[in-house]
Structure 1
Protein backbone atom coordinates (compact mmCIF):
# COMPACT_ATOMS: atom_id res chain seq x y z
CA UNK A 1 0.00 0.00 0.00
CA UNK A 2 1.27 3.45 -0.90
CA UNK A 3 2.00 5.93 1.87
CA UNK A 4 0.64 9.46 2.01
CA UNK A 5 2.99 12.19 3.18
CA UNK A 6 2.36 15.80 4.09
CA UNK A 7 5.28 18.25 4.14
CA UNK A 8 5.06 21.88 5.21
CA UNK A 9 7.20 24.80 6.30
CA UNK A 10 5.88 26.32 9.53
CA UNK A 11 6.98 28.93 12.04
CA UNK A 12 7.56 28.15 15.71
CA UNK A 13 3.98 29.30 16.37
CA UNK A 14 2.58 27.13 13.56
CA UNK A 15 2.05 29.69 10.79
CA UNK A 16 2.31 28.15 7.33
CA UNK A 17 2.17 31.30 5.19
CA UNK A 18 5.04 30.74 2.71
CA UNK A 19 6.10 34.39 2.51
CA UNK A 20 7.62 34.17 6.00
CA UNK A 21 10.26 31.61 4.94
CA UNK A 22 13.32 31.80 2.74
CA UNK A 23 14.65 28.25 2.32
CA UNK A 24 18.39 27.89 1.88
CA UNK A 25 20.03 25.51 -0.55
CA UNK A 26 20.20 22.68 1.97
CA UNK A 27 16.46 22.91 2.65
CA UNK A 28 15.64 23.01 -1.07
CA UNK A 29 17.80 19.89 -1.51
CA UNK A 30 15.80 18.25 1.31
CA UNK A 31 12.49 18.98 -0.47
CA UNK A 32 13.97 17.73 -3.76
CA UNK A 33 14.86 14.49 -1.98
CA UNK A 34 11.26 14.12 -0.83
CA UNK A 35 10.14 14.39 -4.46
CA UNK A 36 12.49 11.59 -5.56
CA UNK A 37 10.23 8.83 -4.22
CA UNK A 38 6.91 10.58 -4.89
CA UNK A 39 4.62 9.20 -7.58
CA UNK A 40 1.74 11.68 -7.39
CA UNK A 41 1.12 15.06 -5.78
CA UNK A 42 -2.43 15.84 -4.63
CA UNK A 43 -2.98 19.57 -4.20
CA UNK A 44 -5.79 21.70 -2.93
CA UNK A 45 -6.63 24.60 -5.24
CA UNK A 46 -4.78 27.31 -3.30
CA UNK A 47 -1.57 25.31 -3.01
CA UNK A 48 -1.79 24.27 -6.65
CA UNK A 49 -2.10 27.90 -7.74
CA UNK A 50 0.90 28.75 -5.56
CA UNK A 51 3.07 25.97 -7.00
CA UNK A 52 1.91 25.94 -10.65
CA UNK A 53 2.90 27.65 -12.93
CA UNK A 54 5.78 28.98 -10.77
CA UNK A 55 7.86 25.78 -10.49
CA UNK A 56 7.20 24.49 -14.04
CA UNK A 57 8.40 27.89 -15.30
CA UNK A 58 11.59 27.57 -13.23
CA UNK A 59 12.16 24.12 -14.76
CA UNK A 60 11.45 25.34 -18.29
CA UNK A 61 13.49 28.56 -18.14
CA UNK A 62 16.25 27.24 -15.80
CA UNK A 63 15.90 30.33 -13.60
CA UNK A 64 16.99 30.56 -9.99
CA UNK A 65 19.65 28.79 -7.99
CA UNK A 66 20.73 25.30 -9.05
CA UNK A 67 18.87 23.89 -6.03
CA UNK A 68 15.67 25.64 -7.17
CA UNK A 69 16.02 24.22 -10.69
CA UNK A 70 16.64 20.74 -9.26
CA UNK A 71 13.47 20.98 -7.15
CA UNK A 72 11.50 22.32 -10.12
CA UNK A 73 12.71 19.44 -12.30
CA UNK A 74 11.83 16.85 -9.66
CA UNK A 75 8.40 18.34 -8.92
CA UNK A 76 7.46 18.96 -12.55
CA UNK A 77 7.97 15.32 -13.61
CA UNK A 78 5.43 14.04 -11.07
CA UNK A 79 1.77 13.39 -11.89
CA UNK A 80 -0.49 16.00 -10.26
CA UNK A 81 -4.10 16.02 -9.10
CA UNK A 82 -5.84 19.12 -7.81
CA UNK A 83 -8.89 18.82 -5.56
CA UNK A 84 -11.19 21.72 -6.34
CA UNK A 85 -14.82 22.53 -6.92
CA UNK A 86 -13.99 25.94 -8.41
CA UNK A 87 -10.81 25.62 -10.50
CA UNK A 88 -11.74 25.83 -14.17
CA UNK A 89 -8.46 24.82 -15.83
CA UNK A 90 -5.17 23.18 -14.94
CA UNK A 91 -1.97 22.62 -16.87
CA UNK A 92 -1.66 19.63 -19.19
CA UNK A 93 0.05 17.47 -16.55
CA UNK A 94 -2.67 17.99 -13.92
CA UNK A 95 -6.04 16.33 -13.44
CA UNK A 96 -8.84 18.18 -11.61
CA UNK A 97 -10.95 16.08 -9.22
CA UNK A 98 -14.12 17.66 -7.87
CA UNK A 99 -15.30 14.84 -5.65
CA UNK A 100 -14.54 13.16 -2.36
CA UNK A 101 -10.95 13.85 -1.13
CA UNK A 102 -10.93 10.90 1.27
CA UNK A 103 -12.19 8.54 -1.43
CA UNK A 104 -9.54 9.73 -3.89
CA UNK A 105 -6.73 9.22 -1.37
CA UNK A 106 -8.04 5.75 -0.41
CA UNK A 107 -8.13 4.82 -4.10
CA UNK A 108 -4.60 6.14 -4.74
CA UNK A 109 -3.24 4.31 -1.69
CA UNK A 110 -4.47 1.00 -3.14
CA UNK A 111 -2.66 1.53 -6.45
CA UNK A 112 0.93 0.41 -6.92
CA UNK A 113 3.57 3.11 -7.02
CA UNK A 114 5.61 5.56 -5.04
CA UNK A 115 4.43 7.83 -2.23
CA UNK A 116 1.52 10.23 -2.49
CA UNK A 117 2.42 13.80 -1.52
CA UNK A 118 -0.66 15.55 -0.14
CA UNK A 119 -0.48 19.33 -0.13
CA UNK A 120 -3.55 21.17 1.13
CA UNK A 121 -3.67 22.86 4.50
CA UNK A 122 -7.44 23.33 4.33
CA UNK A 123 -8.10 19.62 3.67
CA UNK A 124 -5.39 18.32 6.02
CA UNK A 125 -7.69 18.08 9.09
CA UNK A 126 -10.17 15.90 7.16
CA UNK A 127 -7.47 13.50 6.01
CA UNK A 128 -5.87 13.34 9.45
CA UNK A 129 -9.26 12.61 11.04
CA UNK A 130 -9.81 9.86 8.42
CA UNK A 131 -6.42 8.34 9.30
CA UNK A 132 -5.07 8.80 5.78
CA UNK A 133 -1.83 10.72 6.47
CA UNK A 134 0.99 8.26 7.09
CA UNK A 135 3.93 10.65 7.34
CA UNK A 136 4.34 14.26 8.46
CA UNK A 137 7.38 16.28 7.44
CA UNK A 138 7.20 19.51 9.44
CA UNK A 139 9.99 21.98 8.86
CA UNK A 140 9.96 24.41 11.78
CA UNK A 141 11.63 27.75 11.01
CA UNK A 142 13.16 29.82 13.83
CA UNK A 143 10.65 32.64 13.62
CA UNK A 144 7.54 33.67 15.53
CA UNK A 145 5.03 35.17 13.12
CA UNK A 146 2.11 36.03 15.41
CA UNK A 147 -0.38 36.31 12.55
CA UNK A 148 -2.00 34.31 9.76
CA UNK A 149 -3.50 30.84 9.92
CA UNK A 150 -1.86 28.11 11.95
CA UNK A 151 -1.45 24.65 10.51
CA UNK A 152 -3.71 22.90 13.00
CA UNK A 153 -6.17 25.74 13.75
CA UNK A 154 -9.25 23.83 12.58
CA UNK A 155 -8.24 20.35 13.64
CA UNK A 156 -10.55 18.68 16.13
CA UNK A 157 -9.36 15.13 16.57
CA UNK A 158 -12.09 12.62 17.48
CA UNK A 159 -9.50 10.50 19.22
CA UNK A 160 -5.78 10.81 19.84
CA UNK A 161 -3.66 10.14 16.75
CA UNK A 162 -0.19 8.82 17.52
CA UNK A 163 2.87 9.50 15.41
CA UNK A 164 6.44 8.53 16.20
CA UNK A 165 9.45 10.68 15.44
CA UNK A 166 11.59 9.01 12.79
CA UNK A 167 14.31 11.60 12.49
CA UNK A 168 15.25 15.24 12.77
CA UNK A 169 17.53 17.34 10.61
CA UNK A 170 18.94 20.76 11.38
CA UNK A 171 19.52 23.17 8.48
CA UNK A 172 22.04 26.01 8.28
CA UNK A 173 19.24 28.57 8.73
CA UNK A 174 18.29 27.04 12.08
CA UNK A 175 15.17 25.41 10.63
CA UNK A 176 14.53 21.90 11.90
CA UNK A 177 12.91 19.10 9.88
CA UNK A 178 10.79 16.73 11.94
CA UNK A 179 9.77 13.50 10.21
CA UNK A 180 6.90 11.65 11.89
CA UNK A 181 5.40 8.26 10.95
CA UNK A 182 1.89 7.24 11.93
CA UNK A 183 1.96 4.69 14.75
CA UNK A 184 -0.20 1.64 14.19
Structure 2
Protein backbone atom coordinates (compact mmCIF):
# COMPACT_ATOMS: atom_id res chain seq x y z
CA UNK A 1 0.00 0.00 0.00
CA UNK A 2 1.29 3.47 -0.90
CA UNK A 3 1.71 6.22 1.67
CA UNK A 4 -0.01 9.56 1.15
CA UNK A 5 1.82 12.71 2.28
CA UNK A 6 0.54 16.27 2.68
CA UNK A 7 3.03 19.07 3.21
CA UNK A 8 3.19 22.80 2.58
CA UNK A 9 4.69 26.08 3.69
CA UNK A 10 2.41 27.52 6.37
CA UNK A 11 2.13 30.60 8.56
CA UNK A 12 2.40 30.33 12.33
CA UNK A 13 -1.37 30.82 12.54
CA UNK A 14 -1.94 27.88 10.18
CA UNK A 15 -2.58 29.33 6.72
CA UNK A 16 -1.09 28.29 3.37
CA UNK A 17 -2.28 31.50 1.68
CA UNK A 18 -3.37 34.86 3.05
CA UNK A 19 -6.53 36.64 1.88
CA UNK A 20 -5.92 38.52 -1.37
CA UNK A 21 -2.34 37.18 -1.55
CA UNK A 22 -1.26 38.08 -5.09
CA UNK A 23 1.21 35.17 -5.27
CA UNK A 24 -1.61 32.72 -4.50
CA UNK A 25 -3.84 33.97 -7.30
CA UNK A 26 -1.28 34.92 -9.95
CA UNK A 27 0.53 31.59 -10.30
CA UNK A 28 3.74 33.03 -8.81
CA UNK A 29 5.91 30.24 -7.40
CA UNK A 30 6.73 32.20 -4.22
CA UNK A 31 4.39 32.64 -1.30
CA UNK A 32 3.35 36.10 -0.19
CA UNK A 33 5.33 36.07 3.06
CA UNK A 34 8.57 34.98 1.37
CA UNK A 35 9.96 32.09 -0.59
CA UNK A 36 11.83 29.20 0.98
CA UNK A 37 15.54 29.47 1.72
CA UNK A 38 17.86 27.44 -0.51
CA UNK A 39 18.17 24.87 2.29
CA UNK A 40 14.40 24.50 2.70
CA UNK A 41 13.87 24.39 -1.07
CA UNK A 42 16.38 21.52 -1.20
CA UNK A 43 14.44 19.70 1.55
CA UNK A 44 11.21 20.05 -0.49
CA UNK A 45 13.06 18.88 -3.60
CA UNK A 46 14.27 15.76 -1.77
CA UNK A 47 10.65 15.04 -0.79
CA UNK A 48 9.53 15.50 -4.41
CA UNK A 49 12.25 13.19 -5.72
CA UNK A 50 11.03 10.43 -3.38
CA UNK A 51 7.44 10.84 -4.56
CA UNK A 52 5.95 8.59 -7.23
CA UNK A 53 2.68 10.42 -7.87
CA UNK A 54 1.42 13.96 -7.20
CA UNK A 55 -2.27 14.67 -6.56
CA UNK A 56 -3.49 18.22 -7.13
CA UNK A 57 -6.65 20.19 -6.65
CA UNK A 58 -7.48 22.67 -9.41
CA UNK A 59 -6.12 25.82 -7.77
CA UNK A 60 -2.72 24.36 -6.87
CA UNK A 61 -2.52 22.69 -10.29
CA UNK A 62 -3.06 26.06 -11.97
CA UNK A 63 -0.38 27.65 -9.78
CA UNK A 64 2.18 24.87 -10.34
CA UNK A 65 1.51 24.40 -14.07
CA UNK A 66 1.83 28.15 -14.69
CA UNK A 67 5.47 28.11 -13.55
CA UNK A 68 7.18 24.71 -13.22
CA UNK A 69 6.94 23.40 -16.82
CA UNK A 70 9.58 26.01 -17.72
CA UNK A 71 11.02 26.68 -14.25
CA UNK A 72 14.38 25.31 -15.31
CA UNK A 73 14.55 27.89 -18.11
CA UNK A 74 13.89 30.94 -15.93
CA UNK A 75 16.70 33.52 -15.63
CA UNK A 76 18.69 32.89 -12.48
CA UNK A 77 17.27 29.41 -11.82
CA UNK A 78 19.63 27.58 -9.47
CA UNK A 79 20.47 23.87 -9.61
CA UNK A 80 17.74 22.89 -7.14
CA UNK A 81 15.10 24.84 -9.09
CA UNK A 82 16.27 23.24 -12.33
CA UNK A 83 16.06 19.79 -10.74
CA UNK A 84 12.62 20.58 -9.26
CA UNK A 85 11.24 21.70 -12.64
CA UNK A 86 12.56 18.62 -14.42
CA UNK A 87 11.23 16.31 -11.72
CA UNK A 88 7.87 18.12 -11.75
CA UNK A 89 7.51 17.52 -15.49
CA UNK A 90 8.54 13.85 -15.20
CA UNK A 91 6.48 12.87 -12.13
CA UNK A 92 3.03 11.46 -12.94
CA UNK A 93 0.27 13.74 -11.69
CA UNK A 94 -3.48 13.50 -11.15
CA UNK A 95 -5.61 16.64 -11.11
CA UNK A 96 -9.03 16.51 -9.48
CA UNK A 97 -11.42 19.05 -10.96
CA UNK A 98 -14.90 19.32 -12.42
CA UNK A 99 -14.25 22.77 -13.92
CA UNK A 100 -11.27 22.22 -16.23
CA UNK A 101 -11.27 19.90 -19.22
CA UNK A 102 -7.61 19.60 -20.18
CA UNK A 103 -4.32 18.96 -18.38
CA UNK A 104 -0.84 18.25 -19.67
CA UNK A 105 2.71 17.66 -18.40
CA UNK A 106 2.40 13.94 -17.61
CA UNK A 107 -0.98 14.48 -15.95
CA UNK A 108 -4.41 12.92 -16.05
CA UNK A 109 -7.70 14.53 -15.04
CA UNK A 110 -10.21 12.99 -12.64
CA UNK A 111 -13.67 14.58 -12.51
CA UNK A 112 -15.28 12.02 -10.19
CA UNK A 113 -15.13 11.36 -6.45
CA UNK A 114 -11.61 12.23 -5.24
CA UNK A 115 -11.82 10.11 -2.07
CA UNK A 116 -12.70 6.98 -4.07
CA UNK A 117 -9.85 7.60 -6.54
CA UNK A 118 -7.28 8.38 -3.82
CA UNK A 119 -8.34 5.23 -1.95
CA UNK A 120 -7.85 3.22 -5.14
CA UNK A 121 -4.42 4.78 -5.78
CA UNK A 122 -3.31 4.15 -2.18
CA UNK A 123 -4.18 0.46 -2.48
CA UNK A 124 -1.56 0.01 -5.22
CA UNK A 125 2.12 -0.65 -4.66
CA UNK A 126 4.64 2.06 -5.37
CA UNK A 127 6.50 5.09 -4.12
CA UNK A 128 4.70 7.50 -1.79
CA UNK A 129 2.09 9.89 -3.18
CA UNK A 130 1.69 13.53 -2.23
CA UNK A 131 -1.51 15.54 -2.11
CA UNK A 132 -1.57 19.28 -2.65
CA UNK A 133 -4.27 21.88 -2.45
CA UNK A 134 -6.26 22.66 0.67
CA UNK A 135 -9.64 21.46 -0.59
CA UNK A 136 -8.37 18.17 -1.98
CA UNK A 137 -6.14 17.55 1.05
CA UNK A 138 -9.08 18.38 3.32
CA UNK A 139 -11.20 15.67 1.68
CA UNK A 140 -8.35 13.17 2.08
CA UNK A 141 -7.89 14.24 5.73
CA UNK A 142 -11.56 13.80 6.57
CA UNK A 143 -11.48 10.34 4.96
CA UNK A 144 -8.45 9.33 7.07
CA UNK A 145 -6.24 8.80 4.01
CA UNK A 146 -3.21 10.95 4.93
CA UNK A 147 -0.28 9.05 6.41
CA UNK A 148 2.19 11.93 6.85
CA UNK A 149 2.00 15.69 7.40
CA UNK A 150 4.91 18.11 6.85
CA UNK A 151 4.63 21.76 7.87
CA UNK A 152 7.31 24.34 7.15
CA UNK A 153 6.09 27.01 9.56
CA UNK A 154 7.09 30.61 8.83
CA UNK A 155 7.30 33.18 11.65
CA UNK A 156 4.42 35.32 10.40
CA UNK A 157 0.77 35.79 11.36
CA UNK A 158 -1.63 36.66 8.53
CA UNK A 159 -4.92 36.52 10.44
CA UNK A 160 -6.90 34.52 7.88
CA UNK A 161 -6.89 32.93 4.48
CA UNK A 162 -6.68 29.33 3.31
CA UNK A 163 -6.03 27.01 6.27
CA UNK A 164 -3.62 24.08 6.09
CA UNK A 165 -5.96 21.88 8.14
CA UNK A 166 -9.65 21.29 7.55
CA UNK A 167 -12.35 20.81 10.17
CA UNK A 168 -12.41 17.16 11.22
CA UNK A 169 -15.11 15.00 12.77
CA UNK A 170 -12.74 13.56 15.37
CA UNK A 171 -9.20 13.46 16.66
CA UNK A 172 -6.26 12.23 14.63
CA UNK A 173 -3.29 11.10 16.71
CA UNK A 174 0.15 11.76 15.24
CA UNK A 175 3.75 10.80 15.96
CA UNK A 176 6.45 13.46 15.53
CA UNK A 177 9.14 12.02 13.23
CA UNK A 178 11.24 15.09 12.33
CA UNK A 179 11.90 18.63 13.55
CA UNK A 180 14.35 20.94 11.85
CA UNK A 181 15.13 24.66 11.83
CA UNK A 182 15.80 26.48 8.56
CA UNK A 183 17.10 30.01 7.84
CA UNK A 184 14.68 32.83 8.51
CA UNK A 185 13.22 31.17 11.57
CA UNK A 186 11.29 28.54 9.59
CA UNK A 187 10.57 25.40 11.62
CA UNK A 188 9.86 22.14 9.85
CA UNK A 189 7.78 19.56 11.67
CA UNK A 190 6.88 16.22 10.13
CA UNK A 191 4.33 13.83 11.61
CA UNK A 192 3.07 10.34 10.81
CA UNK A 193 -0.51 9.35 11.46
CA UNK A 194 -0.77 6.87 14.32
CA UNK A 195 -2.78 3.88 13.01
Q: 2:107 aligns with which of 74, 94, 104?
A: 94
Q: Which runs of 4+ in 1 moved over 3 A?
A: none
- Which stretch of structure 1 is more off in the superposition, 13-22 or 112-121? 13-22
1:182 aligns with 2:193: yes
Q: Note the residue ranges of structure 2 that are not aligned, 5 or more in a row.
A: 18-30
2:22 is aligned to none
CA separation of 1:92/1:151 partners in 2, compared to 1, >3 Å: closer, same or farther?
Answer: closer
Q: Note the residue ranges of structure 1 that are not aligned, 5 or more in a row.
A: none
- Which stretch of structure 1 is more off in the superposition, 12-21 or 2-11? 12-21
CA RMSD of aligned residues (A): 1.4
Measure, in 2, the Cα distance between the counterparts of 1:158 and 1:76. Answer: 36
CA separation of 1:124/1:2 partners in 2, compared to 1, >3 Å: closer, same or farther?
Answer: same
Which SS does the other structure have where 1:38 is aligned? Answer: coil
Q: What TM-score does the superposition give when structure 1 sets the normalisation length?
A: 0.93
1:137 aligns with 2:150: yes
Measure, in 1, the Cα distance between the counterparts of 2:46 and 2:105. Answer: 24
Measure, in 2, the Cα distance between the counterparts of 1:76 and 1:178. Answer: 27
1:163 aligns with 2:174: yes
The structural deviation recorded for 1:147 is 3.5
1:55 aligns with 2:104: no
* Paired residue total: 181
The structural deviation recorded for 1:77 is 1.5
| 1:8-27 paired onto structure 2 within 5 Å | 8-17=8-17, 18-27=31-40
CA separation of 1:159/1:148 partners in 2, compared to 1, >3 Å: closer, same or farther?
Answer: closer
Q: What TM-score does the superposition give when structure 2 sets the normalisation length?
A: 0.88
The structural deviation recorded for 1:62 is 5.5
1:76 aligns with 2:71: no
Measure, in 2, the Cα distance between the counterparts of 1:144 and 1:65. Answer: 29
Measure, in 2, the Cα distance between the counterparts of 1:91 and 1:4. Answer: 23
